[in-house]
Structures are given as structure tokens and as C-alpha cells.
Amino acid sequence: MSDTQGEAEPRANSAADRAAKADDLATQTGARERLAGHLRRSLSDRTQNVGPKPHADPVTALQPSVPVNHGRASSSRSSGPKKGTLLSGAIGIGFEDALVNAIVAGAKRVTRRPVRPQPNLVSATASDWVDEFQNPIVRAYGSVGSLLYVKEKWARDPDGRAILARLVPDGGEPGRRVRWKSPRYMPKEAARLMLRVTEVRIERLHELDSKSAISEGAGHVAPDQDPLWWFRETWDRIYAPLGMGWDANPWVWVVGFQPNDADKPASDDQPIP
């Protein structure tokens, strides 16, 4: 066999290999195209089947299904807003017994609380509510329209449910000692009094006058005392041990509020979980 014939054989074999590979590639390409066509048809069929069935009311067909109650009484209450929804974004604020009663009686519509930490303010306009480092002062009690839930003295009954001292006649059942707890630790779900914020501002404590003290509940809690004197004594009893007594003249939040029956999560005679 000559050299020319030896070179021709590999070339022929190489050409045959390339042709075989081309056939394989064409076969694979055809299979992929057939698969893609099948998927497109399947997707088109599913899209056509979505929507209301023939002769169905389109509006009714799009409404979510409602489970049928087969003669069983429903345990949900339809009156008033749901308690969990109301309390989810509410801010807790504690009051002493006498002040809670003043709120219920409509004699207290504002409360003052120390700004913590005390800012270094020149004035108390809303645009200046930043500290000396230009950091915004956190509004501890929200803004106008915010919802507050009142934290008051409470306890647990024998069934483990929370009860409020204000709603228990004469402090409890005869012969039973109730261990009342601080409003600070009242669980959120025990709230029975909700307040809508109507005003929020910052001022010095000494800006309070007799008229403002009456709005704080002085006329209801201590009708025979000078309103300003009553407020000062009450303030010092709570905040003087914390270094923010009357003489310190701290910056305070002035929070106006209005109880609203629409915000009440449950009536007073309903059990508290």
C-alpha cells in the first residue's frame, strides 16, 4: 500500500465520524424541539382552564370559599373590633388606681412623663426634637392618632386568667387574699382601657399651671387640695427618687388622649384570657 493510499484512509474515516456526529446532533436537536413544543401546548392548555367554569358568575367564582357551619354555634364575637388587631400596635402606659378611675370618669385627659434620657434642648418646637448630637428624640408614646393601652393593677384568678383590681368589687371574694401586681407587669392581653393620642408635645415641667393640673385629674382625685400642689406631690413621689423631681424641672412629654369606645377590645364583664 502506497503512502497516498494510507493518508486517504484516515481522511475518509474522519469524514465518516463527522457525519455520524452531525446525525446525532440533529437527532438530539429534534428531540429537544419536540419536548419544547409539548411543554408549550401543555402550558397553553392549563392557561385556558384557569378562571370561572362555564355559566358561572365571574364575581362569585373569584370569591374565596367559606367553610359551612353545620349547625354548630360560632364562638366568635361579631360586636366591636378584634382585640388582637387593636393591641398589635398599641403602646402600654401605666397609671395608678386613682388615675385610672379619673380617666374612666372623664376627669383626666392628659399625662406628663419624663423624656428619657433628658435631651439638651433650647426650645421645644417639633422641628427641634433632636438632642445635642442632632439625633431625633424617640417618641415614647407615639404621635397623634397612636393607640395606647392602659396598664393597671392586676392579678391572676385561680384559673390563671388576668383580673383587674378596678373591676373586682371590694378587692376580691370574702376570705380570699388577692396578690395584686404592679401595672408595669400587666400582660398586654389583659387591657380593658384604650386611649387615642390627640396631642404630643415637649415642655418643661414647670410650665404646668393649675388648669393643666386639673386636666391631669387633680379635681377628681383630690378635690379639696390645690391642683398644682397635688400634682407636685404626686410627681415627686414617683419621679424624685429617679432624679427627675419637681425641683429638677425636667423636660416632659405632654400626651393628650381621648378614650374611645370603638377602641375598647372587650367589655368589662368579659373574662380576660
b/e for 34-48, b at 16 or more Cβ within 10 A?
A: eeeeeeeeeeeeeee
Place of cell 386613682: 98
Most confidently predicted of 41-50, 116-125, 186-195: 186-195
Do 188 and 265 meet the contact criterion of CB atoms below 8 Å apart? Answer: no
Does residue 108 form part of some domain?
A: yes
Give the chain's mean pLDDT.
74
In this prediction, residue 266 carries a pLDDT of 47
Tell me the pLDDT band of 117, cut-offs 50, 70 and 90.
Answer: confident
Does residue 173 form part of some domain?
A: yes
Tell me the pLDDT band of 179, cut-offs 50, 70 and 90.
Answer: confident
Does residue 149 form part of some domain?
A: yes
Structurally, the chain folds into a number of domains equal to 1
* Residue 220 pLDDT greater than 90, yes or no: yes
Half-sphere exposure of 25 toward its Cβ, with a 13 Å CA cutoff? Answer: 6
What sign results for the dihedral spanned by CA atoms 20, 21, 22, 24? positive
Please tell me the distance from the alpha carbon of residue 271 to that of residue 76, in angstroms, as a whole number: 14
Domain that residue 94 falls in: 83-204+252-263
Summarised one tens digit per residue, pLDDT across range 26-65 is 566 666 666 666 666 666 655 455 444 444 333 333 333 3
Residue type present at position 47: T
Does residue 144 form part of some domain?
A: yes
Place of cell 395606647: 148
Does residue 161 form part of some domain?
A: yes
3 state DSSP class of 27: helix
In this prediction, residue 65 carries a pLDDT of 32
Does residue 156 form part of some domain?
A: yes
Does residue 93 form part of some domain?
A: yes
Do 179 and 230 meet the contact criterion of CB atoms below 8 Å apart? Answer: no
Does residue 191 form part of some domain?
A: yes
To the question of pTM greater than 0.85 for the whole model, the response is no
Do 93 and 151 meet the contact criterion of CB atoms below 8 Å apart? Answer: yes
CA 99 to chain centre: 25
Segment 164-192 mean pLDDT: 78
**What's the Rg (C-alpha) of the chain?**
37
